[in-house]
Chains A and B, each alone.
Chain A
Amino acid sequence: MNVTPALDWLRGSPLLGLGLTLAAYRLALWLNRRAHGHPLTNSVLIGSLLVIAVLLGCGISPAEYMKGAQFIQLLLGPATVGLAIPLYHNLSRLKRAALPLSLTLLAGSLTGILSAVGLGAAFGLPHQILLSLMPRAVTTPIAIGIAEHIGGIPALAVTFVIVSGIFGAVIVKPLFSRLRLDDDLVMGVATGIAAHGIGTARVFLLSETAGAFAGLAMGLNGLVTAVLVPIVLGFMHL
């Protein structure tokens, strides 16, 4: 019996990345339940760590993995469109809070840009990293566009976006419960502004309303940030 050709086939098959992602996610969910929903057992965090462990352990390249995993990633778009449904369920709340929401979005977007650049500069990080930090709080496709536009490094920007999203998703529940900020609307909007889609996925599990407002805030924050970053940059002479 010779298993080498079989293993070679497996490596080239999209089923590997697809199956691995589903299995890692399922295992992460199980762990999360066993840990009674402990924030550190966040399913995105544990799921991707499991995938990374298998890729490194079996010598599978990220490109080979993505052959199958891209089908899961492809569904991100349609799922984002679907956020319109829980949002519509909250139509009356949305109408009532329209003005406070707009002000919060504007202030939140500015906070997102300035906090990253400010802290980065305080830590003495180089210029090009500071530029790549500016779109850190927005959803990946917008972050790539902003980073390219202002001369940052898109790959670096994506990495910052994802690390921020995971950190936000892990910390949001304990932080907001402790500070008594865990109102669905407040938590949802703040999470959408600070931790985009990964945060949205997290708070959606806490409440559909929080998830809906996170999705809305994520989209609008991306738009506002794309407009604000070049303006802020003009003021800062970076």
Chain B
Amino acid sequence: MIETLIWLIGYQLAGELICRSLALPLPGAVLGMLLLFLTLCVKKGIPASLNTHVPQLLGHFSLLFIPACAGVIVYWSLLTAHGWSLLATLAGATLITLLVPAVLLKLLLARRRRGDAA
């Protein structure tokens, strides 16, 4: 577990330092994920500790969002200031943004599969 935390925090710190120095529009953790992914590709394997503990940590990924979500009450009056139109906008936009890429990706994958078969 300790080894896993050192890996993950180390890659996040590396990501943060690079993003901040180059002023990239990306959170350090996301760059850290990409860097760790590249490292695994080069190593052609996953260290045993990461392979055991990371799935356990990610199994409780939801827990980590609760503080930020509970914090939304601070801005609750902003959300309800425009009545339902704001919530309807958020719900509608999320629905559209889920469906458009899903349908597009499904079509692209099916098309390529047909191309492979031909």
- Contact of A78 with B61 in the complex, beta carbons under 8 Å: no
| Contacts A81-B29, A82-B54; A205 near B59 (Cβ below 8 A) | yes
Distance A43 CA – B62 CA, assembled complex (angstroms): 7
Instruction: Give A59-80 as 1s and 0s: 1 = Cβ < 8 Å from B's Cβ atoms.
Output: 0001001100110110111111
Count of chain B residues near A, Cβ 8 A:
72
Q: For residue A70, which residues in chain B have a CB less than 8 angstroms away from its CB?
A: 67
CB nearest to A116 among chain B residues = B93
- Contact of B36 with A48 in the complex, beta carbons under 8 Å: no
Distance A226 CA – B26 CA, assembled complex (angstroms): 8
Q: How large is the interface on A (under 10, 10 to 19, 20 to 34, 35 or more residues)?
A: 35 or more
Distance A68 CA – B9 CA, assembled complex (angstroms): 20
Taking the complex as formed, is B17 at the interface, i.e. its CB lies under 8 A from any CB of chain A? no
Footprint of A on B, CB under 8 Å? 4-5, 8-9, 11-12, 15, 25-30, 32-34, 36-37, 40-41, 46, 50-51, 54-55, 57-75, 78-79, 82, 85-106, 108-109, 112
Footprint of B on A, CB under 8 Å? 17, 21-22, 24-25, 42-45, 47-48, 51-52, 55-56, 62, 65-66, 69-70, 72-73, 75-88, 91, 97, 99-101, 103-105, 107-108, 111-112, 115-116, 119-120, 123-125, 129, 133, 136-137, 139-142, 145-146, 155-156, 158-160, 162-168, 171-172, 175-176, 179, 181, 183, 185-187, 189-191, 193-195, 197-198, 200-202, 204-205, 208, 211, 215-216, 218-219, 222-223, 226-227
